[in-house]
A and B are shown apart, each in its own frame.
Chain A
Amino acid sequence: MSPTPTYNFAYLDEQTKRMIRRAILKAIAIPGYQAPFASREMPMPYGWGTGGVQITASIIGPDDVLKVIDQGADDTTNAVSIRAFFAKVANVATTTRTADATIIQTRHRIPERKLAEGQILVYQVPIPEPLRFLEPRETETRKMHALEEYGLMHVKLYEDIAKHGEIATTYAYPVKVEGRYVMDPSPTPKFDNPKMHMSEALQLFGAGREKRIYAVPPYTEVVSLDFEDHPFEIQTFTDPCAMCGAEGVYLDEVVLDDKGGHMYVCSDTDHCEERRLSGHRGVLSGDPLEAAE
């Protein structure tokens, strides 16, 4: 039988890393443009973050500090699994603290804490093509991007307003990057869209199954699509976080009983913990040490 396999640093062989880095550089040179890359099979299934993992694997070095979040939390199962993967194949330091991380791999959220120069945010993307559900053909959407034909996108927004009185997209809300390419920011809630604009950090987007990488370099203009008379608006929550009292952050709904009782807590678990450690309290938090267990 074949010999037991040994793996290169961060799993991918150097040739593959080189190929991915070239795609990343191309993506950075053309903000918002989906650069094709020869995505590899990874040890986790397509759809479970292989694009993000391939990007992280190509850029991570022994001195990096890695944070992995899913739905804003470090402790959701897939985030745990990916963090363990890199701990195993790269032996890098990992953290749950946004402030301490050099690379943050994320699914569906941008951290509440403002990111700094030198940090890289790696997004996991299921469907990179913002026009996909309006036009299933790749041959057509490619042309539409090349010719800057985005009328169809606005038709969809127009229909929403005609039907619902407002734009009905609540996550994966399309944006225009540097005034040229329309991009899907990944299924982050539209609440997070403003964070992408003029960020100090580098934002990389990886779609493993669809084989595309795209990027928003630091200090890049990222504008959510809208109409002049129906401007883009983010979600608001009526109550602050029940644990730490934070306002202006994205909250998760937690069901407490089967009589409709529910409460809202920070989706970003690190942000919540940090606030509680500095003394902030919400209505339903107990002793700070107990809550952090």
Chain B
Amino acid sequence: MNTTSDAVNVTLPPPVPATPVASHSSVALMASSPQIDPPDRFALRDGSESHKGEGGAPLLKVEGLSKYYGTRMGCADVSFSLWPGEVLAVVGESGSGKTTLLNCLSTNLEPSFGRALYRMRDEEFRNLYELSEAERRFLMRTDWGFVHQNPADGLRMTVSAGANVGERLMAVGDRHYGRIRATALDWLGRVEIAADRIDDEPRSFSGGMRQRLQIARNLVTSPRLVFMDEPTGGLDVSVQARLLDLLRSLVSELGLAAVVVTHDLAVARLLSHRMMVMKDGRVIEAGLTDRVLDDPREPYTQLLVSSILQV
């Protein structure tokens, strides 16, 4: 098991009692799945902090989410809350249901049971599965991002990098070519893509570059919530490390909340504040990332953690 001196140095301030809204959601409905309510603030491994939002209301409250395919279970009874600026990792092996969960949360799939309450920009909580098509699509274009495992799925491959980044801006009414281009250039810089590639098509980019372009494309409208599906999957190890660094700094800089699906515990360790471990469609353990990885309680989690290759 991995104990580090860093873990010892983490100081957790005494927990602040949760606000009525949070306690209602966390206590009332989740008998079947393990879940803890995070304190208002806690420090991460690298010293950065995650915050609950103003007034402490979560950004997303998921209650009893389940997806069945006929008699086959995709995921069942998933409940959790997500606060602004907080990154939640959903970890599991193939078939654990984590991708199904992500697709339900991002409304790409309709769940069989349960609901997901999202706090809109006007502070109203809406059940995502009751949104109209128009509302859903607007949300996906402005307030959310979705980073696909295969960047080609999240990019327009036959359109230039600049247009890929600028598209969301144009979709919400930006009409100044120079400004759109300048914003795109700025973002390419932030994701470390050379400026002279702005007019090149992603077809000519390496896997790592495409993924960084996908990230820029998603973040250009300052979304509050980003879904990521194995964001470093299929990339070379050194490229992965660089990408994770980038993601971490962007997430903290922009105060993004994120749900990151990964089978790679190192990704969870580096990116997330909290994590959920899934097996056979259910959440079997959840908690602060450092706690779960340093002190796994469930046998399956212990198995996962101990299976990490030490290089």
A and B touch in the complex (CB under 8 A): yes
Tell me, in angstroms, the Cα distance from A226 to B134 when the chains sit together.
25
Any B CB within 8 A of the CB of A149: yes
Task: Report which of A146, A162, A229, A230 forms a contact with B162, defined as CB distance below 8 A.
Answer: A162
Q: Name 23 A/B residue pairs within 8 A (Cβ), A-sorted.
A: A146-B134, A147-B133, A147-B137, A147-B138, A150-B171, A151-B141, A151-B170, A151-B172, A154-B170, A154-B171, A155-B167, A155-B170, A158-B163, A158-B166, A158-B180, A159-B159, A162-B162, A162-B163, A162-B198, A227-B175, A227-B176, A227-B177, A228-B177
Please give the distance in Å from A8's CB to the nearest CB on chain B: 43
Main DSSP-derived SS at the A contact region? helix
Besides the known contacts A151-B170, A163-B199, A227-B175, 10 further A-B residue pairs in the complex with CB atoms under 8 A apart:
A146-B134, A149-B137, A149-B171, A151-B167, A155-B170, A159-B160, A159-B163, A162-B163, A163-B160, A229-B176
Residues of B within 8 A of A159 (CB): 159-160, 163
Tell me, in angstroms, the Cα distance from A159 to B177 when the chains sit together.
10
Tell me, in angstroms, the Cα distance from A227 to B182 when the chains sit together.
14
Residues of B within 8 A of A149 (CB): 137, 171
Residues of A within 8 A of B197 (CB): none
Interface of chain B residues 146 through 176 with chain A (CB within 8 A): 156, 159-160, 162-163, 166-168, 170-172, 175-176
Any A CB within 8 A of the CB of B178: yes
Interface residues of B (CB under 8 A from A): 133-134, 137-138, 141, 156, 159-160, 162-163, 166-168, 170-172, 175-178, 180-181, 198-199
Tell me, in angstroms, the Cα distance from A146 to B135 when the chains sit together.
12
Q: How many contacts A-B (CB < 8 Å)?
A: 57
Residue of A nearest to B184 (CB): A158
Any B CB within 8 A of the CB of A161: yes
The answer to whether B134 touches A147, judged by C-beta atoms less than 8 angstroms apart, is yes
Tell me, in angstroms, the Cα distance from A229 to B178 when the chains sit together.
7
Please give the distance in Å from A193's CB to the nearest CB on chain B: 17
Any B CB within 8 A of the CB of A143: yes
Tell me, in angstroms, the Cα distance from A154 to B171 when the chains sit together.
8
Q: Mark A132-165, 1 if CB is under 8 A from B, else 0.
A: 0000000000010011011110110011011100
Tell me, in angstroms, the Cα distance from A291 to B199 when the chains sit together.
52
Residues of A within 8 A of B167 (CB): 151-152, 155
Please give the distance in Å from B221's CB to the nearest CB on chain A: 11
